[in-house]
């Protein structure tokens, strides 16, 4: 219909026209959430697959806004590690980021607010780079600065989104593997799941631009769920950029989240 056509045009034009500085602060941007689809992969722990969670325009913006900010990734405690050989970049809040934050919070229901989200983190992998098996939730034993994280900053990570921002056409490898979650059985999953992996490896999602996985990290009593163990498998060729959206149990201090320049109206 005419209306549908208009919506598509509006969703695509504003970011592209912006003010051209790549900061997403052009005043023409209007947040329009894409009609992404969701499917449950596992109910315990909860793991949901989302198709079309990030639009092509949002992905292009995330890439250009983070281009110069990548540094060798750290793990808990702020240290470099052979466990995680990727580069990461934190991206400041701008209208596009705000829009993605709003979507990520809304997906989790009315009891989760945008103020519980950590600053969004992009992760870039070049060939051979990977992130070995880990959980995203903090355990005070493994994290040198867990006290800082837990006390002042909203507690533990209740959930994670990992979305694929960029996957070069020659990319091989680079799936996201959950060894303790059973792979779904129906062959229709094979468009997003690597069905060539042996079943004892659990489930491996192939990196597909715009799609995302969401999972719950904690049990109802707040303790970490070890079954959420996962890895960013080595990229064997090409490049992969993903984004982490982590939600805490409570609102984060402004010193962590940054002043909210784009409050909800
Ligand atoms: O790269 C991936 O597929 C997963 C990355 C990840 O788990 C993380 O950055 O915490
Ligand atoms: Fe992770």
Domains, the chain, in order of start with CATH, read 29-257 (2.60.120.620)
> For residue 145, what pLDDT is reported?
61
> For residue 144, what pLDDT is reported?
54
Distance 217 CA to ligand 1 centre (A): 14
Q: Which range has the worst mean pLDDT, 135-144, 172-181, 182-191?
A: 135-144
pLDDT at 197 exceeding the cut of 70 = yes
pLDDT band for position 57 (cuts 50, 70, 90): very high
pLDDT at 255 exceeding the cut of 50 = yes
**Nearest alpha carbon, ligand 1 atom 2:** 232
Q: CA–CA separation, 164 vs 190, rounded Å?
A: 17
**Mean of pLDDT values over 20-48:** 82
| Ligand 1 atom index nearest CA of 175 | 3
Distance 10 CA to ligand 2 centre (A): 34
Please, are residues 75 and 145 in contact by the beta-carbon 8 Å criterion? no
**Mean of pLDDT values over 5-28:** 43
Edge-to-edge strand ranges of the sheet holding 230-232 = 131-134, 230-232, 176-178, 203-205
Q: CA–CA distance from 78 to each of 72, 81, 155, 207 (Å)? A: 11, 9, 17, 26
Residues pairing with 193 in the sheet? 205
Burial track 30-57 (b if 16+ CB lie within 10 A, e otherwise): ebeebebeeeebbeebebbbbbebbbeb
Residue ranges lining ligand 1, Cβ < 6 Å: 123, 131, 136, 162, 176, 230, 232, 242, 244
pLDDT at 264 exceeding the cut of 80 = no
Distance 28 CA to ligand 1 centre (A): 33
The two structure tokens encoding residue 114:
């945008």
pLDDT band for position 12 (cuts 50, 70, 90): very low
**Mean of pLDDT values over 82-109:** 94
> For residue 172, what pLDDT is reported?
96
Here the ipTM equals 0.99
Q: CA–CA separation, 196 vs 186, rounded Å?
A: 13
pLDDT at 78 exceeding the cut of 60 = yes
């Amino acid at each position: 219909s005419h209306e549908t056509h208009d919506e598509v045009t509006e969703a695509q034009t504003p970011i592209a026209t912006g003010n051209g500085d790549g900061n997403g602060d052009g005043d023409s941007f209007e947040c329009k959430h894409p009609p992404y689809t969701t499917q449950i992969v596992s109910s315990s722990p909860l793991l949901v697959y989302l198709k079309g969670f990030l639009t092509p325009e949002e992905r292009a913006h995330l890439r250009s806004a983070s281009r110069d900010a990548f540094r060798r990734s750290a793990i808990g405690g702020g240290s470099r590690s052979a466990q995680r050989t990727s580069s990461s970049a934190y991206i400041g809040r701008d209208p596009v980021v705000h829009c993605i934050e709003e979507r990520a919070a809304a997906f989790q229901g009315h009891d989760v607010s945008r103020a519980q989200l950590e600053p969004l983190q992009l992760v870039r992998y070049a060939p051979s780079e990977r992130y070995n098996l880990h959980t995203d939730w903090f355990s005070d034993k493994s994290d040198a600065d867990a006290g800082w994280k837990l006390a002042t900053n909203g507690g533990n990570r209740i959930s994670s989104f990992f979305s694929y921002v960029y996957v070069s056409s020659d990319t091989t490898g680079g799936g996201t593997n959950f060894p303790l979650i059973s792979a779904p059985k129906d062959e229709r999953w094979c468009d997003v799941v690597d069905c060539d992996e042996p079943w004892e490896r659990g489930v491996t999602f192939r990196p597909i631009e715009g799609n995302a996985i969401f999972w719950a990290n904690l049990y109802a009593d707040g303790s970490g769920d070890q079954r959420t163990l996962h890895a960013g498998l080595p990229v064997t060729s090409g490049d992969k950029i993903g984004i982490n959206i982590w939600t805490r149990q409570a609102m984060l201090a402004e010193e962590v989240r940054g002043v909210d320049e784009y409050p909800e109206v």
